[in-house]
Amino acid sequence: MRIFIAAIGTETNTFSPIPTGRASFEETLLRHGDGGTTSSAFAGPLAEWREMSSPDDTIVESIAAFAMPGGPTSQSVWQELRDTLLRDLEAHGPFDLVLLHLHGAMIATGCDDCEGELMEAVKRVTGPNAVVGVELDLHAHLTDRMVANADAIIMYKEYPHTDIRERARELYSISRHARETGQSLCMSMVDCRQLGVWRTSDPLVAELVKWMKDEERQRPNLLSLSFCHGFPWADVPEVGAKALAVAAGSERSVAENAAKDLADRILALRETYAPTFIAAKDALVATARTDNLTIVADVADNPGAGGPGDSTYLLADLLASDIADVVVGMIWDPVAVRLCVEAGEGERIALRIGGKLGPLSGTPLDIRGRIVRIVHDVKTSFGGGNWEAGTLVWLDLGRIQLVINSVRTQTLNPDVFEQVGMDLNAYRAFFIKSAQHFVGGFSRITDRFIYAVCPGVAAPAFESLSLPRAGRPLWPNSTDQ
Ligand SMILES: [Zn+2]
């Protein structure tokens, strides 16, 4: 069997002040032909698909590209990625199987639906004979164009995304079986007309994930169910949560009924489930009151959702308080990192930190401290792979320890603090920038997580998000449905 594999992704926040260009891909993942051999979490499916193939198969791997979420991708960069993939597909074809790992919420300055455009072009090249299977992040805008141009789409089920590789294996099996047996596949999607965040670490959402897996096992001919959570911070026409089913055979009713049943359950969760968030000042009070190790997540400035990662609200509040023995990090400030590298470990330094990258980043803070440690080329582990964090600098400010870094990424795992030599047991709280992916990594040191809301481009203010292009009422942005 001839198999084509590739991965392209980023998650576009149309409110983010960070442009996404070539350098954003280069510093996270940009490989051609060998992405599956890297430790990048986004390339994990490529490694799985290679591993699952038999020695008789021919595998052609094209591009593997991922940029940390930010604003829209420059049109020329998008076109370069897209055309590289399509050129490879044409040059090395025909293929029996095309397997793509995409994000599903990638927007370019000249294209609202990069994945839909790509999938349509892929189908045009392969024709009807190849089976096209696509794995997507659950934070996608699942569009009609995507569903019309793939044979099977499978999305992650878990948030945090702990099942990227598991879903990749599932997609491989379903797609390969269909190609080998000539079995037809059909998909059905239901628009839930809803914005939200669903943490699968919360019991009610975990129950829904379990229900989906049970249905996949029990319903005749149902192959896959996906709960597309959507990515709310993007003003595009098909933003919002969706339900998707993939079924075997050409009888559409299996997929249609399953997608509708899933959508009903998603809508029913409105009555029983809401993710917890608390105001920043209450997070400080909660931290001061307990000696249990606490993780305070600044969700609105999460670089994993397009946040700049340089907002200073929580750090400013901490500096104004008398709270001691806490760590703040990572704050993305490559210029301050450079000044620290220039000064060297052990030196005292005065720095202006953060608050530079957008109107929601707060004000820059003037601090003085000692440079405890500088470590280059730090990677943080997540999702069965690694994410680049660049150079990290540990600054001792007295009561507060601050970690700044040079490659924008969320604080996914306490391993970043360990890599600069911190004793994790020596502190009462870590103030990090992430919305949910930190849960897996930090669970090994505590189960006390606080989701704090400050101003930011990924603030969970779904009632007031400005989405004039959404084109239809979306709960709770509009209750007019
Ligand atoms: Zn996601």
Residues 413-439: tens digit of each pLDDT: 999 999 999 999 999 999 999 999 999
Ligand 1 mean position to 138 CA, how many Å? 6
Tell me the residue ranges of DSSP E strands in 184-325: 185-191, 222-228, 242-248, 278-279, 294-298
**Residue 182 CB contacts under 8 Å (≥ 6 apart), including other chains:** none
How much distance in Å is there from the Cα of 147 to the middle of ligand 1? 19
Mean pLDDT within 98-114: 98
Q: 132-144 b/e with 16+ CB inside 10 Å = b? A: bbbbbbbbbbbbe
Interval between CA 66 and ligand 1 midpoint (Å): 13
Name residue 374's amino acid.
I
Could you give the strand order of the β-sheet that contains 429-432, starting from the edge strand earlier in sequence? Answer: 278-279, 449-453, 294-298, 429-432, 326-332, 400-405, 385-396, 365-382, 348-353
Average pLDDT, whole number, for the chain?
Answer: 96
The band of 260, judged by pLDDT with boundaries at 50, 70 and 90, is very high
Query: Average pLDDT for residues 144-172, to the nearest whole number?
Result: 97
The pLDDT value recorded for residue 478 is 82
Mean pLDDT across 318-331: 96
Is the pLDDT at 251 greater than 90, yes or no? no
How many Å lie between the centroid of ligand 1 and the Cα of residue 355?
25
Residue 145 has pLDDT above 70, yes or no: yes
Distance 232 CA to ligand 1 centre (A): 11
CA distance 57 to 59: 6
**pLDDT per residue as tens digits for the range 376-411:** 999 999 877 888 999 999 999 999 999 999 999 999
Q: For the segment 21-57, what is each residue's pLDDT rounded down to a tens digit?
A: 999 999 999 999 999 999 888 999 999 999 999 999 9
290 C-alpha to ligand 1 centroid (Å): 32
- 319 CA distance to ligand 1 middle (Å): 32
Q: How far is the centre of ligand 1, averaged over its atoms, from the C-alpha of 343 (Å)?
A: 38
CB atoms within 10 A of CB 88: 18
Q: How many whole angstroms separate alpha carbon 102 and alpha carbon 354?
A: 32
Percent of the chain predicted with pLDDT > 70 = 99
How far does CA 358 lie from the centroid of its chain? 21
| Distance (Å) from CA 101 to ligand 1 centroid | 13
Q: How far, in Å, is the centroid of ligand 1 from the Cα of 335?
A: 29
For 211, list phi and psi in degrees, rounded to 5.
Answer: -60, -45
Instruction: Give the contacts of 315 (CB within 8 A, at least 6 positions apart).
Output: 328, 331, 353, 354, 365, 400, 402, 431
From 169, 178, 167, select the one nearest 249 (Cα to Cα): 178
Confidence grade of residue 287 (pLDDT, cut at 50, 70, 90): confident
Exposure string of 40-53, with b = 16+ CB inside 10 Å and e = fewer, is: bbbbbbbbbbeeeb
Distance 20 CA to ligand 1 centre (A): 17
For position 377, what pLDDT does the model report?
96
**Could you tell me the distance, in angstroms and rounded to a whole number, from the CA of residue 341 to the centre of ligand 1?**
33
DSSP-based three-state secondary structure for 135: strand
Residue 481 predicted with pLDDT over 70: no
For residue 137, the CA-to-ligand 1 centroid distance in Å is 5
Select the more confidently predicted residue: 470 or 481: 470
Q: Rounded to the nearest whole angstrom, what is the distance from the C-alpha of residue 11 to the centroid of ligand 1?
A: 8
Residue 41: per-residue pLDDT:
86
How much is the pLDDT for 250? Answer: 79
Q: What number is the average pLDDT over the span 204-210?
A: 98
Residue 368, amino acid: R
Burial 419-438 (b: 16+ CB within 10 A, else e): bbebebeebbbbbbbbbbbb
Query: Residue 63 corresponds to which amino acid?
Result: I
Would you state the pLDDT for residue 385?
82
pLDDT digits (tens, 9 = 90+) for 266-275: 999 999 999 9
Contacts of 334 (CB under 8 A, 6+ apart): 390, 405, 406, 407
Cα-to-centroid distance, 460 and ligand 1 (Å)? 15
* Neighbouring-strand partners of residue 394: 373, 403
N-terminal to C-terminal alpha carbon distance within the chain: 48
| 159 Cα to the center of ligand 1, angstroms | 7
pLDDT of residue 480: 65
Q: In angstroms, what is the span from residue 262 Cα to ligand 1's centroid?
A: 19
Structural contact between residues 349 and 402, judged by C-beta atoms closer than 8 angstroms: no
Q: What residues contact residue 109 under an 8 Å CB cut-off, 6+ apart?
A: 72, 73, 74, 75
CA of 161 to the centre of ligand 1 (A): 7
Distance from Cα 231 to the centre of ligand 1, integer Å: 8
Say whether pLDDT at 122 is over 60.
yes
Ligand 1 centroid to residue 26 C-alpha, Å: 20
How many Å lie between the centroid of ligand 1 and the Cα of residue 279? 24
**Residue 478 CA, ligand 1 centroid: distance in Å:** 24
Residue 107 pLDDT exceeds 90: yes
CA of 374 to the centre of ligand 1 (A): 30
Residue 290 is predicted with a pLDDT of 80
Task: Tell me whether strands 385-396 and 365-382 are parallel, antiparallel or unpaired.
Answer: antiparallel
pLDDT at position 114 is 98
228 C-alpha to center of ligand 1: Å? 10
DSSP per-residue string spanning 370-439: EEEEEEEEEEEEETTEEEEEEEEEEEE-SSEEEEEESS------THHHHHTT--GGG-SEEEE--SSTHH
Say how many Å lie between the CA of residue 102 and the centre of ligand 1.
Answer: 11
User: Residue 289 forms beta bridges with which residues?
Assistant: none
Distance 139 CA to ligand 1 centre (A): 5
